[in-house]
Structure 1
Amino acid sequence: MSISKVKHKVGKYELGRTIGEGTFAKVKFAKNMETGEAVAIKILDKERILKHKMVEQIKREIATMKLIKHPNVVRLHEVMGSKTRIFIVMEFVTGGELFDKIMSEVNHGRMREGEARMYFQQLINAVDYCHSRGVYHRDLKPENLLLGSCGNLKVSDFGLSALSQQVRDDGLFHTSCGTPNYVAPEVLNDRGYDGATADLWSCGVILFVLLAGYLPFDDPNIMILNKRISAAEFTSPPWLSFGARKLITRILDPNPLTRITIPEILEDEWFIRDFRQTKFEENCEGNVDDIDAAFQDSEEHHVQEMREQQPATMNAFDLISMSKGLNLENLFDPEQEFKRNTRFTSQYPPNEIIHKIEEAAKPLGFDIRKKNYKMRLENVKAGRKGNLNISTEVFQVAPSIHMVEVRKAKGDTLEFHKFYKTLATRLRDVVWKSDDDLQGRDLN
């Protein structure tokens, strides 16, 4: 039996579960109803964007991301806007987080050197490509590195993870962002930093974690942690090869001016072993008209948002397992003890069933609370065992057939039985009658 739900549709997409949440955005799984393709949709609040004066920057970064089509970067498909929200439609990556893969490794939560090098090479490929187009991540960490269906690395949120950040006239970022353990020393002070060198430091921390299985800089005291990062105080584990240790040391250089660059990494002896340059067709063409439309106030440019409440569905196995509970007789078991629930079927629309139950229960002295296709009925008068509470829910068996479950949630079972007999009489027209019913057997 599935859970009662509210279908949320945005344009041609049906939104599902939340798969990520941040300060400025929420990410939901979604399905393209025209093609069946699974996507991820990042949802931004327009009011917050306007409040923080982020519109132009977000439009610029989204436009750039639409043109980035790299195998190791999560794709951005399109942008839509409603009156209150911006929807960024992205590629849905199925292989999970790289962080989960690290944690699942049997060898003390770390990767073998060859495997770690392969993922690091893909990471550098992606970072190099995006930096060449002026796009910086500023929150690189294993949790933002996903795995595709074939196990290839996919960097998520490139250019979108730090939407609230601004570049000043000196060309530097001035707001600290990112996860503390992965941020570069220059990000921790307020003198400005270069997005490219800061990203590279984070790549070095990621490489260390892949190979060592723990963070190079870690302390519960944030002041001590910042001090260790600023001084690049870390100890490499003994199992690291000389080449890996040397490269990590050059990346985790606290001075951004002397830190190794990506062109230098691409020539490093340890890095280039078994290196495969990512091959793909670079296509810089892309339509960015939807970006301006998404931010406009005019309703003609807004995507349609719909919330469609639907009753829970029931499959054949559910129906068979409950088939003995379709009449009043089944309020009793063979020993004639009262049961706590019963069910009936109806060909009425679900909203009408709910209305009929409400209409029948109110004169009997029940307060009613409704949520979608569930109802809670509470008798205002206390009975033998307190106030009688009854739960009802409508399930969809077929497009035109519904099953209604009536269940005692609290109170005396005998009182529930008496209530149901009265309710059944009042719902006589709602209940779907079988051939046997029509010959004289009905709900009563």
Structure 2
Amino acid sequence: MENMENVLMQKYEFGKMLGQGNFAKVYHARNLESGQNISVKVIDKEKVLKVGLIDQTKREISVMRMVRHPNIIQLYEVMATKNKIYFAMEYAKGGELFDRVVKGRLKEDIARKYFQQLILAVDFCHSRCVYHRDLKPENLLLDEYGNLKVTDFGLSVHQSCTHLDGLLHTTCGTPAYVAPEVISRRGYDGAKSDIWSCGVVLFVLLTGQLPFKDSNIMQLYKKISRAEYKCPSSLPPDVRKLLKRILDPNPITRISMKKVMENSWFKEGLGTHSDHTDVTMEKIMENSLFKEGLDLHSGHVDVTPYIDPKKHELTKVSSFNAFDIISLSTRFDLSGLFVENDEKDEVKFTSLKPALDIISKMEEIASSLKMEVGMNKGGLLKFKKASESRNSLLLIDVEIFEITSCFHLVEVKKSGGDAFDYREMMKNDIKPALQGIVSCGMRSK
């Protein structure tokens, strides 16, 4: 490997390169302690910073920690050095499903099996409010037993990233697999667009060719928007009917994931494949996250969103991941990994108090400061007050993350207004008032 030791963090021994993209390379590796085969995605930090893909990288980490499923490539841990970011992931020995399809169409039973596993994996993502947005055979791997594994969550997004209209607006994906509403740029439902892509994958598996193809990209988009494709007469009628319902250019009338799984052709031979159980959250490390000497394997820590039993709202988690936890350690401060300047002021602290007590305390503080208090649909507390030194509004956001049932991490961040006013208020009013619920010293950024 160029400019890289053969052993990473004294734990993983590198082997041959499995593939590469513009900003990352993927290697086969072996866990020296257990002998387990894994793959390691090596991301060039400088390149990612240069093109502004930091948020996308952070989002990929957060999403992969949320979607633990037998048919999804598992993220074991995340590590970082000065120049590189490393994803230690499950190794799929069978390679890309694309390599099988490129040789020709698959037998109906085999194609159905892969489609079933794809649908089960994507449905699980949707149950976690995660949308993949780049489903295609190149992003579907096979393990040594021939089971499908969804990978590459680089373009994935959490529902909390939707606009006020409840839709996603970023045009992304691979042209031949993208849904017509994504191309239209009028906003789209992430779940419905994923279903469309699954339909294109099914067509490719059964026929060995794309339903929509044209050398002219605009002509290709026209065919997609009108769902202009020819289904081979050799395909069984029930398959053709299912494809027609999936490849419906109208997302409103397009078949839902639930209806796909109720389809008789889909269910045939499914057997135990549908009996996937949710994977429980990994146990938190016994040592405190904030003790001196925390090692980088704390990337294993999962952060689950806090659910307010009163408001039944979900605190958004798209901007929070293992790197944020690691950065709280004084010995391994990785805050510089994703922060290029000091534009944002924020404070993090932990508390052993119940979440409702934390919320009540924050509301009490806001009231004493004569600040307006609100909560968005994502469960984010928002404080607002007219700036004393300038003709503007001071906006403060408060997020609560549940590490365990009795251990919360709280982030207080200025989202708008004058930085001086925020710092003065934090120093003189908010921090002193919070001392009763803080279990570990506050850390500012």
CA distance 1:64–1:177, shift in 2 (3 Å): closer
Where 1:17 maps in the other structure, the secondary structure is: strand
**Residue 57 (structure 1) shift:** 5.6
The match for 1:174 is 169
Shift of 1:40: 1.3
Q: How far has the Cα of 1:182 moved from its partner?
A: 0.7
3-state SS of the aligned residue for 1:127?
helix
The equivalent residue for 2:248 is 253
Q: Give the superposition deviation at 1:86.
A: 1.8
Residues 147-183 of structure 1, C-alpha deviation per residue, up to 9 Å, x if partnerless?
11111111112x3345899644434332222211111
Measured after TM superposition, the shift of residue 103 of structure 1 is 3.1
Contact 1:80 1:293 (8 Å CA) reproduced: no
1:211 counterpart residue number: 206
Question: Which of 277, 280, 292 is 1:284 aligned to?
Answer: 280
Give yes or no for contact 2:28–2:37 (8 Å, CA) kept in 1. Answer: yes
Aligned to 2:139: 144
Q: Report whether the alignment pairs 1:190 with 2:188.
A: no
1:28 counterpart residue number: 27
The CA RMSD over aligned residues, in Å, is 2.9
Figure out how many residues of one structure are paired with residues of the other and give that number: 295
Distance 1:54 1:22 in 2: 14
Q: 2:6 aligns with which of 8, 11, 28?
A: 8
**What is the Cα deviation at residue 31 of structure 1?**
1.9
Q: Which residue of 2 aligns with 1:334?
A: none
- How far apart are 1:249 and its partner, in Å? 0.5
Contact 2:130 2:156 in 1 (8 A): no
Q: 1:145–1:156: 8 Å Cα contact kept in structure 2?
A: yes
Question: CA-to-partner distance for each residue in 1:11-34, whole Å, 9 max, x for gaps?
Answer: 122333332223443222222222
Partner of 1:18 in structure 2?
Answer: 17
Provide closer, same or farther for how the CA distance between residues 167 and 19 of structure 1 changes in structure 2, counting only shifts above 3 A.
farther
Asked if the contact 2:12–2:32 (Cα under 8 Å) also holds between the matched residues in 1, the reply is yes
Map of 1:328 onto structure 2:
none
CA 1:299–1:243 in structure 2 vs 1: closer, same or farther (change >3 Å)? same
TM-score, normalised on structure 1? 0.61
Distance 1:4 1:115, change over 3 A: closer
Amino acid in structure 1 at the alignment position of 2:121: A
Whether the 8 Å contact between 2:181 and 2:188 is mirrored in structure 1 is yes
Q: Which of 126, 148, 162 in structure 2 is aligned with 1:131?
A: 126
- Aligned letter for 1:139? D
Contact 1:81-1:295 within 8 A present in 2 as well: no
Which residue pairs with 1:414 in the alignment? none
> Tell me, what secondary structure is at the counterpart of 2:130?
coil
Letter aligned with residue 71 of structure 2: N
Please tell me whether the aligned partners of residues 138 and 198 of structure 1 are also in contact (alpha carbons under 8 angstroms).
yes
- How far does the alpha carbon of each residue in 1:225-264 deviate from its partner, in whole angstroms, 9 at most, with x for none? 1110110000101101100000001000111111100111
**Per-residue deviation at 1:139?**
0.9
Correspondence 1:105-120 to 2 at 5 A: 109-120=104-115
Counterpart amino acid of residue 171 in structure 2: S
Q: Which of 263, 284, 304 does residue 268 from structure 1 map onto? A: 263
CA drift of 1:131 comes to: 0.9
Contact 1:45-1:86 within 8 A present in 2 as well: yes
For residue 41 of structure 1, what is the amino acid of its counterpart?
Answer: V
Aligned residue type for 1:160: G
CA contact (8 A) 2:78 2:88 kept: yes
Change (3 A) 1:80 1:274: same
1: CA distance, partners of 2:133 / 2:82: 30
Are residues 1:121 and 2:116 paired? Answer: yes
Alpha-carbon distance in 1 for matches of 2:164, 2:21: 28
1:401-422 Cα shifts (integer Å, max 9, x gaps): xxxxxxxxxxxxxxxxxxxxxx
CA distance in 1, matches of 2:165, 2:80: 33
Report the equivalent of 1:90.
Answer: 89
* Equivalent position SS for 1:90: strand
Shift of 1:82: 1.5
User: What residue is the counterpart of 1:160 in the other structure?
Assistant: 154
Distance (Å, rounded) in 1 between the aligned partners of 2:257 and 2:183: 22
Match of 1:230 among 222, 225, 246: 225
Residue 297 of structure 1 deviates from its aligned partner by 10
**Would the aligned equivalents of 1:17 and 1:28 in 2 still touch at CA under 8 Å?**
yes
Question: The residue matched to 1:266 in structure 2 has which SS?
Answer: helix
Does the 8 Å contact 1:68/1:284 carry over to 2? no
Per the TM alignment, residue 200 of structure 1 is displaced from its structure 2 partner at its CA by: 0.7
Partners of 2:77 and 2:156 in 1: CA distance: 19
Three-state SS of the structure 1 residue aligned to 2:238 is: helix
User: What is the TM-score with the length of structure 2 in the denominator?
Assistant: 0.60
* In structure 1, distance between residues paired with 2:122 and 2:100: 21
Residue 82 to residue 4, structure 1, CA distance change in 2 (3 Å): closer
2:76 match: secondary structure: strand
Mark the runs of 5 or more structure 1 residues left unpaired by the alignment: 303-444
* 1:191 positional shift: 1.4
SS, match of residue 20 in structure 1 = strand
Structure of higher CA gyration radius: 1
Structure 2 counterparts to residues 57-68 of structure 1, below 5 A? 58-68=57-67
Alpha-carbon spacing, 1:274–1:216, altered in 2? closer, same or farther (3 Å): same
1: CA distance, partners of 2:248 / 2:164: 26
Check the 8 A contact 1:173/1:193 in 2, yes or no: yes
Contact 1:205–1:216 (Cα < 8 Å) also in 2: yes
- How far has the Cα of 1:58 moved from its partner? 4.1
Checking the alignment, whether the CA contact within 8 Å between 2:94 and 2:141 is kept in structure 1 is yes
Aligned partner of 1:232: which letter?
A: A
Q: 1:231 and 1:284 mapped to 2: Cα distance?
A: 43
Distance, in Å, in 1 between the alignment partners of 2:151 and 2:2 is 32
